[in-house]
Amino acid sequence: MDADNPNRKTRDTPQWALYQRENFWKINNGEKPLFNTEPGKLEDLAQQKLTEGGWLYASSNAGASYTHLANRQAFYRHKIIPRQLVDTNVRTTSTTIFGHKVSAPIGFAPIGINKIYHPLGELPVAKVAKELNLPYCLSTAGSTAIEDVAAANGDGPRFYQLYLPHDDELAVSLLTRAFKSGFDVCILTTDTWQLGWRHNDVAEGNYAFYRGIGADLGLTDPVFQKRLAAAGIDPKKEPERAGAMWIDNVWHGRAHDWSKMPWLIKTWKEISGGKPFCLKGIQSVADAKKAVEMGVDGIVVSNHAGRQVDGAIASLDALENIVAAVGDKTYIMFDSGIRGGSDVCKALALGAKFVWVGRLWVWGLSIMGEAGVRHVMKSLLADFDILMTVGGFQNVEQMMDRDILESYPKGYAMIAEKSRL
């Protein structure tokens, strides 16, 4: 926390830990920190700020939320073993992902319809990602045009998450727009051919696309505009029908299978000149092996934060299984359940090379827009940086070691608390 720490002269990233000092000092200037970033308090504050629909969509999980619960329980059984008297004055949080040198092994996970959380949608999120030099991943379900998000992200590293339409011309158009806009990695989500059964959303009829909200990414696509015209739908006069036609094309009960993957990989490689293609949503070893056979460049081990299949395996447990099977054959990333710096460390120790964070920055966006996203993510970076210095880690690679954890059996008991874990 020493502002004159010699580490500042040698680091290749900002000294994120100084954000703690900055917040401690605010009182002396008659200021206060923006808000508490403890995950439970963060969630409570977001609920106070959001509309009912925004809150329900952000917080709902599949079924009885037992997959969401399992995601957090899996972290509890792994304990970090700190090392002492390590010279962490000289340390770095940086890493490299698909040729991009970034500030930390942490990225902004793809989350759709950001305009239900803030009027500016994805724009402030993409802007902050660039400022922090963290990868930003745009969802096909985004509520802002691809090109506008790219402009907000500037020269930041950015990836495109694809929900694959059942319209090849439209798929090619989306991928072409993304690559021309500087999104140089394609990540296909494989677990959302239809939304999981989310009780609260269904009970309130809470679905923004069917209310004519959030389909901007599709409505700005020239191929989809042709489809609307052919169907006789004017999106300005009939936003509900336009929104439904857009999202029905990528979700809602129509699945793709492995036979589509060669075409998609070939198409993306041709459009992008050979840039990486990854699959997100992999939980089984069999699927991980199949993905490697298909020639994917990376896998995101994810269960969609427990929003798709209820009663499923914890994503962190799936990570262990998949790393054991194909960890040396492809680039493995992790998603679902990250709430703090220690969670990032545990995922790295279990074999992930990179993690994606979603709900934390959504809460920040909901609470205070751009400033909220920045505060949440700088706090996470500070937490991670401080963990390195007090835990005895000089770099990210030293965390990628199974021996830094003591792990206990998978004895997950049912407990009442779920959503705030």
List active site positions: 304
Q: What are phi and psi of 139, to 5 degrees?
A: -85, 145
CA–CA dist 115, 54 (Å, integer): 9
Q: What are phi and psi of 248, to 5 degrees?
A: -65, -20
CB 163 within 8 A of CB 192: yes
Taking CA 319 as the corner, what is the angle to CA 292 and CA 349, rounded to the nearest 5 degrees?
A: 115
Tell me the torsion sign for CA atoms 293, 296, 298, 303: negative
CB 278 within 8 A of CB 296: yes
H helix intervals, 259-301: 261-272, 285-294
CB 209 within 8 A of CB 247: yes
Percentages of the chain per state (helix, strand, coil), in multiples of 5: 50, 10, 40
CA–CA dist 162, 141 (Å, integer): 9
Token pair listed for 50: 């959001």
8-state DSSP, 355: E
The residue count for the chain: 421
Residue 36 DSSP SS3: coil
